[in-house]
């Protein structure tokens, strides 16, 4: 499944990206490094402020849980020691979703992948590239990037994020699983999603290359 991405779409932020993957559309804006409030300041590294806004209504504990998961991942990706005593604020706004409230995997997957493009647009230092994939087991079959109506009937669903080095997925950064599955099934899912992650990374490279050519070459 390919990404549909637009970057630098918000003029009042340091980095921004809009991504469509499957039936989910999300907008991410990044401000920073900026001066933090005293309670947010860390002496040796940047602090992260993650804000997730639902596609309708007000944020609830559901969005707070997504914020915690996204923070857990991005803390290990952004080279925060380069920005001591600073704040990096990341705002995620969902525009379209295709899953019911009991599920968050497609939203989390879209947020992770959109954050990658927004971080690149903001020119923040990263340890490596990263890409996220959703997988589910439905009636014994493994499906990648399933739509919301398939998730409802799935036996289990998984959000898997890999770091990418030398165009290879060589390290598991994040794994969120729900449902009933065996250890053998999980290892099968991880084996299958590696190739999908590497394919999606090739899409990332094409998008970033086009962005660089548009922003800097012959300008």
CB atoms within 10 A of CB 61: 7
How do the domains of the chain map onto residue ranges?
4-215
**CA distance linking residue 4 with residue 163, whole number of Å:** 21
CATH superfamily ID and name for 4-215: GHMP Kinase, N-terminal domain (3.30.230.70)
Residues β-bridged to residue 93: 27, 53
Which regions of the chain does DSSP assign to beta strands (E)? 4-7, 15-21, 24-34, 47-53, 87-96, 129-138, 141-144, 156-165, 168-179
Q: In the 8-state DSSP scheme, what is residue 44?
A: S
Q: Binning pLDDT at 50, 70 and 90, where does residue 10 land? A: very high
- Tens of pLDDT, residue by residue over 31-87, are 989 999 989 899 999 999 999 999 998 999 999 999 999 999 999 999 999 999 999
- Tens of pLDDT, residue by residue over 181-204, are 999 999 999 999 999 999 999 999
- Tens of pLDDT, residue by residue over 116-159, are 999 999 999 999 999 999 999 998 899 999 999 999 999 999 99
């Amino acid at each position: 499944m390919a990404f549909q991405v637009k970057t630098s779409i918000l003029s009042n932020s340091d980095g921004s990206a809009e991504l469509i993957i499957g039936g989910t559309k999300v907008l991410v804006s990044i401000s920073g490094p900026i001066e933090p409030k005293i309670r947010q300041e860390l002496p040796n590294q940047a602090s992260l402020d993650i804000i997730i806004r639902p596609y309708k209504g007000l944020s609830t504990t559901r969005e707070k849980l997504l914020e915690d998961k996204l923070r857990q991942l991005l803390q290990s990706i952004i080279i925060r020691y380069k920005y001591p005593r600073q704040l990096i604020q990341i705002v995620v706004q969902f525009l379209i979703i295709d899953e019911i409230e009991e599920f968050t995997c497609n939203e989390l997957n879209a947020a992770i992948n959109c954050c990658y493009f927004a971080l690149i647009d903001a020119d923040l230092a990263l340890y490596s590239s990263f890409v996220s994939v959703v997988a589910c087991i439905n009636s014994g079959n493994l499906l990648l990037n399933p739509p919301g109506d398939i998730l409802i009937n799935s036996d289990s669903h998984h959000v898997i994020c890999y770091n990418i080095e030398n165009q290879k997925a060589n390290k598991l950064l994040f794994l969120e699983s729900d449902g009933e599955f065996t250890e053998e099934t999980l290892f099968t899912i991880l084996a299958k999603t590696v190739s999908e992650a590497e394919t999606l990374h090739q899409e990332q490279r094409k998008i970033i290359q086009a962005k660089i050519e548009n922003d800097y070459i012959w300008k």
